[in-house]
Chain A
Amino acid sequence: MTGPSLLSAEAVERVYRLGREVEVHALRGVSFTVDRGDYVAIMGSSGSGKSTLLNLLGALDRPTAGHVRYDGRDVADMGDPELAELRNRRIGFVFQSFHLLPRLTALDNVALPLVYRGGTPRSRRQAALEALTAVGLADRLDHRPGELSGGQQQRVAIARALVTDPALLLADEPTGNLDTATGDDIMELLEQLQADHGTALVVITHEAQIARRADRTIELRDGLLVPEVPA
């Protein structure tokens, strides 16, 4: 495929300033690309800069140096409304701690991203229903997060990431709060969706056996890439 990659990171750096003197160099020049339909794992021990990288890839944060581009467009050139639209239309997030709104039912949680792109409440509910069905929770529509198990909550979160039909799924330690068996189910679900929808999938993990499932693994160490190893 020609043309710009779906997502590219070019010599990305991120420095956190703590007070006047102290600086934390969380990323020190990271470059790689993600193309449509890719399945990439970002591996690294705790504190290696994985979450920092994911926030940059998800356009939630801006690099202190280097570039993050979507379809060739630099995120740094986008204003707040454009960034919001990028996150809404192109990216689906899955977090370690699910981040569901406790007041809302599973269906309303899944419909939440659609609220920011118009459409009738009816069409939103319909889309949310389909997404929940795809993750196997068609019988839990009116449950609130507190009434669901951890694995079920993460499925709701995946349905929410999916409902907007994004080009890229970004998952930060999606199995981190789950037991091994449930974690495997969640990984299988993500992989199935990636395959079915042609969505690119970037999974962040510190567990080697999860990283091993991906087509490609990028390893981070102290804010730098360890040369890529094909799976």
Chain B
Amino acid sequence: MSAREAIRVALQALLSNRLRSALTTLGVLIGVMSVVLLVSIGQGARTEITGAIEGLGSNLLFVLPGDGDFGSGPSRSRFIADDIERIDRQLPGEQPRVAGSAVGAESLQADGQRFNATVQAVTAGYTSVLDRELGRGQPFTESDVVTSRRTAVLGATTAEELFAGQDPIGRQFSIGGIQFRVVGVLTRIGGEASPFGPDQDRTVLVPVTTGQRLFGTDRIDSIFVRASSTETIEVDRSTTERVLGERLDEDEFSVVSQDEIIGVVGDILSILTTVLGAIAGISLLVGGVGVSNIMLVSVSERTREIGLRKALGARTRDITVQFLLEAVALTVLGGVIGLGLGIGGAALVAEFAPVPAEVTWWSIALALGTSVAVGIIFGVLPARRAGQLDPVEALRRD
């Protein structure tokens, strides 16, 4: 039997049992759809988060509390503001090259407008070390920090929410009931919250001393070191480690570069994507079992047909191929529709949900490849059973 003929016969058989075919396909369809969708979300999150980290600049070193093993969970920071100055003094070149921040969430209020924002208590060098531009006004100065002045630099969204389009420079607002004066507004960067910092547009920067008093702490959560170039990054790293090592234990801090963070985060997100894909794969597996099941029913229902075809000259192989093609046709149909719905779903997620979703060529190839594979794997048992039916027995069946 020619391949074309075999496909025609397979499709005919499926069409003669439309509802059953549709329901069987549904299992595979849902499986493929969820694989595509979940892998897209995982992939999108990866792109988004690594992009956010890259946006911080490639010459940046992050000093984080703990021994740098992401698996061991968050550690309490033991950094203090003095650490920042001590590191900066040891680094060559134009200063400031080191900045730090402590983070808290507070309720803001101005002219009756309320807004919940992330308050970052930062050192005077923060905006220059992290390369943040101000759209209006000025960053606060060393003297603001030294005298714990109640001045603030607003993120773009924060400024809009609090002052509804009016010029906020020089205006008053309160953080947790304490009055602050706006000295600057950051330009919008359009990022989103990431594990390495809050949404930079929904933030408020205040002098580190003022902020620490507000939070009732003297801790610093993270320290940022800008290397003067990619070549000096390792020198700056060991300087930083040496200075911090004078005061802290080795496992109380770790200095990591942007590349290392991207590597670790990338690994975590790859695992996440794989796990999501595998969970979705289970539903694909269930769909495949459904295909197997229905094909077995179909073989037993069509025993007489199989016997007849053999009497008329079908080889074992012809029958096996016929049933295998039926199974593959079912799963590929489910795969194609599931792929379409998965891509559509990913587009919807990207549009309406805060999680990004990104369909990659390999997730498409994966979906189609697996649906063919599922058809073959779960079709082969029923198909072989069909092919090996004894024609005499099969024809006797009524």
Contact = CB atoms under 8 A, between A and B. Distances in A.
A103 B12 contact: yes
Contact of B318 (A55, A97, A116): A116
B4 to A, nearest CB: 9
B68 interface: no
B313 to A, nearest CB: 2
B312 A87 contact: yes
Main secondary structure of the interface of B (DSSP, over half): helix
A58 B1 contact: no
B18 interface: no
Interface residues of B, number: 26
A87 B16 contact: no
Nearest to A98: B308
A61 to B, nearest CB: 5
Nearest to A54: B392
A151 B315 CA distance: 30
Interface string A120-153: 0000000000000000000000000000000000
A85 interface: yes
Given A115-B1, A115-B5, A99 B395 contact: yes
B391 A60 contact: yes
Contacts of A39: none
Given A60-B391, A115-B1, A101 B308 contact: yes
B309 A81 contact: no
Contacts of A81: 315, 317
Interface in B1-60: 1-2, 5, 9, 12-13, 16
Contact of A112 (B2, B13, B312): B312
Nearest to B394: A60
B311 A58 contact: yes
B319 to A, nearest CB: 10
Interface string A80-97: 110011011100010101
A99 B391 CA distance: 13
B395 A95 contact: yes
B237 interface: no
A227 interface: no
Determine the interface band of chain A, counting residues with CB < 8 A from chain B.
20 to 34
Nearest to A100: B308
B311 A60 contact: yes
A164 B312 CA distance: 10
Contacts of B12: 103
Contact of B313 (A61, A85, A99, A101): A85
Interface in B62-105: none
Contacts of A93: 311-312
Contact of B315 (A55, A84, A97): A84
Interface string B386-398: 0000111001001
Given A99-B395, A116-B318, A84 B310 contact: yes
B308 A99 contact: yes
Given A60-B391, A61-B392, A99-B304, A113 B312 contact: yes
B312 A116 contact: yes
Interface string B297-335: 000000011011111111111100000000000000000
A36 interface: no
A1 to B, nearest CB: 27
A118 B4 CA distance: 11
A60 B392 contact: yes
Nearest to A164: B313
B305 A101 contact: yes
Contacts of B318: 84, 116
Contact of B316 (A58, A61, A80, A113): A80
B313 A84 contact: yes
B314 A116 contact: yes
A84 B308 CA distance: 12
6 contacts: A61-B390, A61-B391, A80-B316, A95-B395, A113-B313, A116-B318
Q: Which 10 A-B pairs have the closest CB atoms?
A: A88-B313, A116-B313, A84-B315, A113-B312, A60-B391, A99-B308, A80-B316, A55-B392, A61-B392, A81-B315
Given A80-B317, A84-B313, A116-B1, 10 more contacts: A60-B392, A61-B390, A80-B315, A87-B312, A89-B313, A99-B304, A99-B307, A101-B305, A113-B313, A116-B315
